[in-house]
Amino acid sequence: MALLLPSELSINEVKAARARYAELQKYSHLIENKRRAVKNEYETLRAKYDDLQKYKSMMENRLTEYKKSVEELPKCVSDLLETSTILEAFRESEDCMTCRYGWKRFNDKCYFFSSDRLNWSQSRDNCVTKGGHLVIIDSTEEQKFLDNEVSTKMEHASDNFWIGMTDSETEGQWVWVDNMPLDDNKKFWLKGEPDDWKGRNSELKFGEDCARVGIYGCTLFCWGDSNCSARRKRICEAKGV
């Protein structure tokens, strides 16, 4: 069959060929756009995949560290308990004990000697607000210590200090501020005390129902009773910290 030369093609055939070519060009552009879109989507997904791989690796490392921490936890707990025990023993040791500023240490206790004056009830309450109580004397050594301290702080002969003992509930039955009765073997009354003195003309209706300490030159038997409304200095006592 002989080939037809362009001049020999009909006008309609030429038009049809051009239309098919244009259509093929259109499909070619669509295919190219699809290819580019697929390529872009692939690159996006690839980047997300790489990010997920990095995150997966990071989480695996964290999981490994977490497992290691869990495995070491019993030992950490044991070490903490041992350290806590050591610190507690150290804190409770006499050498470690300290007193707050303004307080003086003696053995395992701390003492505060006031410079201002209050009545006995006010003194009792004030010591409580400081985290302690009016002093409770339960040994000869403690009594001597207090006598020595008080003697350096007295400004005159009657400059006494309240201690934590009273017989205001029942006359003659002396009780400490912790509600414990006075031990007969641990009394340090000055000779002639307590006398419940009611004044030269019996002007002190309730007599003397509160205990105080502080006599010049006295080093042991130095307690006296006094009217509870009198304003005196005070000795507070508290545990060391």
The helix or strand, by DSSP H or E, that contains position 14, with its residue range, turns out to be helix 11-92
Q: Write down the pLDDT at residue 93.
A: 53
Q: Which residues is 175 bridged to in the sheet?
A: 166, 181
The pLDDT value given to residue 25:
81
pTM of the model: 0.60
Q: What is the mean pLDDT of the chain?
A: 86
Tell me, letter by letter, the H, E, C secondary structure of 40-99: HHHHHHHHHHHHHHHHHHHHHHHHHHHHHHHHHHHHHHHHHHHHHHHHHHHHHCCCCCCC
- Which sequence spans correspond to the domains of the chain? 11-92, 104-239
The correct CATH number of 104-239 out of 3.40.50.170, 3.30.365.10, 3.10.100.10, 3.90.1640.10 is 3.10.100.10
For residue 95, name the pLDDT band (cuts at 50, 70, 90): low
